[in-house]
């Protein structure tokens, strides 16, 4: 639920909506609702394990809950946010963390924890800086006397969210903030909710601060997203809001998109693994379980050309899940049961076609000829080539951002990068002589389109700059 607390009595009908929004983890499963997209492809795949649900299964009620909450916050502002914080997260303390609290918190963090977080922040910041350098400003003469150019400027305010639910999402804190910092964002507002009924998790607070957040708020869920979008408590409405969260957070970002920019339309974390007969089934099974522990609705997919490998992986996964601690075992067990799939393909070309349609958030390749896969795969949030790397490395410390598209959005969008915090502007200027050629084309094309006022802006300049000259300006618009 939003914020991770109990159902609130605040808004009319919200208690009922939230009660019915909880994911089903027991009972009879519904019939398969995965779109039959394989009918559109020239493939002959075999489902050795097929999901009974898709990430879209649980979204309808989330939309109702979010719409109700956003309406309340728009109407009542900060008072509604404080009420939601109290009702959902049992948090009645100050929402903005003070510099004194940040300093006191840092003194309590063990040295090794600081070193590990600092190392990961440096990795993420360095990669984001390299991304920033890949996008440059330029100017070019397009026609004699016509100069056009590009400027690249950061947004003024970024909102960075990190969840505070089942786990302490330390990495999510620096993934957003360090990347915004590398982009040059002037003001970074960071939000995460209370951790298990107390203040923000101390390591997450440390990560926010060390990565460069300017304002840190103990606030989670839909109320945090709305507060950053509207500039509540800070007076600084966000231009862009980024960061992962549960289905309510994702829906709040989607609903507010347009008023603010967002990173991606996100859903539950996903993993796809491509494996052939050269893969180690023990490692493949471990990596599937490693991502399934994210939550009850996290899909884990195996695309393979080897039936023997697939069958061994399916034997290993339940045993690995059973060996997990209770919280992770509950999440991974439900995710694998309801959303796990194993798909047998007849060729690596067929694997590519199927994988690209799934467009996995995270995609690992455990197969021979890694360069071939790199060249042929086109739809994924982030690609992990070879056994030596794994999604967990990308989630925590290797450098590329872990906020990535889900629910097939990798077919048209990448994940969070420094570019999400940058605006690419164009500019142009020209000499009066250049305005002759551009003006003539503009006047005639405008009249072909029926836009007489447009045409006359060109006419007026031609008449002013070249008095006495006659030009063929097209037939004036009469309608």
Task: Check if 362 is active-site.
Answer: yes
449 an active-site residue?
Answer: no
Across the strands, what pairs with 160? 190, 242
- Catalytic choice (169, 201, 362, 402): 362
Q: What does DSSP say about strands 146-154 and 138-143: parallel, antiparallel, or unpaired?
A: antiparallel
Q: What is the 3-state secondary structure (H, E, C) of the chain?
A: CHHHCCCCCCCCCHHHHHHHCCCCCCCCCCCCCCCCHHHHCCCCCEEEECCCCCCCCCHHHHHHHHHHHHHHHHHHCHHHHHHHHHHHHCCCCCCECCHHHHHHHHHHCCHHHHHHHHHHHHHHHHHHHHHHHHCCCEEEEEECCEEEEEEEEECCEEEEECCCCCCCCHHHHHHHHHHHHHHCCCEEEEEECCCCCCCCCHHHHHHHHHHCCCEEEECCHHHHHHHHHHCCCCCCCCCEEECCCCHHHHHHHHHHECCEEECCCCCCCCEEEEECCCCCHHHHHHHHHHHHCCCCCCCEEEEECCHHHHHHHHHHHHHHHHCCCHHHHHHHHHHHHHHCEEEECCCHHHHHHHHHHHCCCEEEEECCCHHHHHHHCCCCCEEEECCCCCHHHHHHCCCCCCCCCCCCHHHCCCCCCHHHHEEEEEEEEECHHHHHHHHHHHHHHHHHHCCHHHHHHHHHHHHHHCCCCCCCCCCCCCC
Catalytic residue among 341, 361, 364, 402: 361
Distance CA 410, CA 380 (A): 5
Contact 154, 226 (CB under 8 A): no
CA dist list (Å): 6 to 80, 86, 164, 344, 358: 16, 10, 14, 42, 34
The Cα 55–Cα 429 span in angstroms is: 49
Partnered with residue 64 across adjacent β-strands are none
Measure Cα distances from 416 to 121, 137, 213, 266, 411 in Å.
15, 21, 17, 11, 15
Residues labelled catalytic: 361-362
């Amino acid at each position: 639920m939003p914020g991770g607390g109990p159902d609130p009595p605040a808004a009319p009908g919200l208690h009922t909506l939230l009660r019915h929004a909880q994911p089903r983890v027991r009972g009879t499963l519904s019939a398969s609702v995965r779109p039959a997209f394989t009918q559109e492809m020239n493939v002959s795949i075999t489902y050795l394990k097929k999901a009974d649900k898709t990430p879209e299964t649980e979204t309808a009620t989330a939309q109702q809950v979010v719409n109700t909450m956003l309406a309340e916050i728009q109407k009542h502002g900060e008072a509604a946010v404080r009420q939601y914080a109290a009702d959902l997260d049992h948090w009645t303390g100050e929402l903005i963390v003070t510099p004194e609290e940040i300093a006191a918190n840092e003194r309590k963090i063990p040295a090794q924890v600081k070193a590990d977080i600092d190392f990961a922040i440096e990795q993420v910041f360095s990669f984001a800086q390299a991304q920033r350098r890949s996008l440059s400003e330029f100017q070019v003469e397009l026609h004699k006397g016509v100069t056009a150019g590009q400027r690249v400027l950061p947004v003024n305010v970024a909102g960075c969210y990190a969840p505070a639910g089942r786990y302490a999402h330390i990495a999510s804190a620096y993934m957003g903030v360090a990347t915004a910092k590398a982009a040059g964002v002037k003001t970074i507002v960071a939000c995460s909710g209370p951790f298990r009924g107390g203040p923000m998790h101390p390591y997450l607070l440390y990560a926010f601060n060390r990565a460069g957040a300017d304002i840190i708020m103990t606030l989670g869920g839909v109320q945090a997203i709305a507060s950053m979008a509207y500039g509540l408590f800070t007076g600084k409405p966000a231009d862009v809001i980024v960061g992962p969260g549960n289905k309510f957070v994702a829906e709040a970002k989607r609903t507010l998109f347009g008023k603010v920019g967002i990173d991606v339309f996100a859903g539950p974390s996903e993993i796809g693994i491509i494996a052939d007969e050269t893969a180690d089934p023990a490692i493949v099974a471990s990596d599937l379980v490693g991502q399934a522990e994210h939550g009850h609705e996290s899909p884990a997919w195996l695309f393979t050309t080897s039936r023997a490998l697939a069958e061994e992986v399916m034997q290993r996964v339940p045993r690995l899940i059973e060996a997990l601690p209770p919280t992770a075992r509950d999440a991974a067990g439900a995710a694998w049961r309801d959303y796990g799939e194993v798909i047998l393909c007849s060729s690596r070309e067929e694997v590519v076609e199927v994988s690209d349609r799934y467009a996995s958030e995270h995609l690992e390749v455990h197969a021979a000829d890694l360069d071939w896969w790199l060249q042929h795969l086109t739809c994924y949030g982030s690609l992990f080539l070879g056994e030596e790397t794994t999604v967990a490395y990308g989630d925590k410390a290797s450098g590329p951002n872990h906020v990535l598209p889900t629910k097939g959005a990798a077919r048209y969008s990448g994940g969070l990068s420094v570019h999400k915090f940058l605006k690419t502007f164009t500019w142009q200027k020209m000499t009066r002589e250049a305005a002759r050629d551009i003006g003539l084309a503009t006047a005639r094309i405008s009249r072909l389109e029926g836009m007489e006022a447009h045409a006359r802006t060109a006419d007026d300049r031609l008449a002013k700059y070249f008095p006495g000259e006659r030009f063929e300006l097209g037939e004036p618009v009469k309608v």
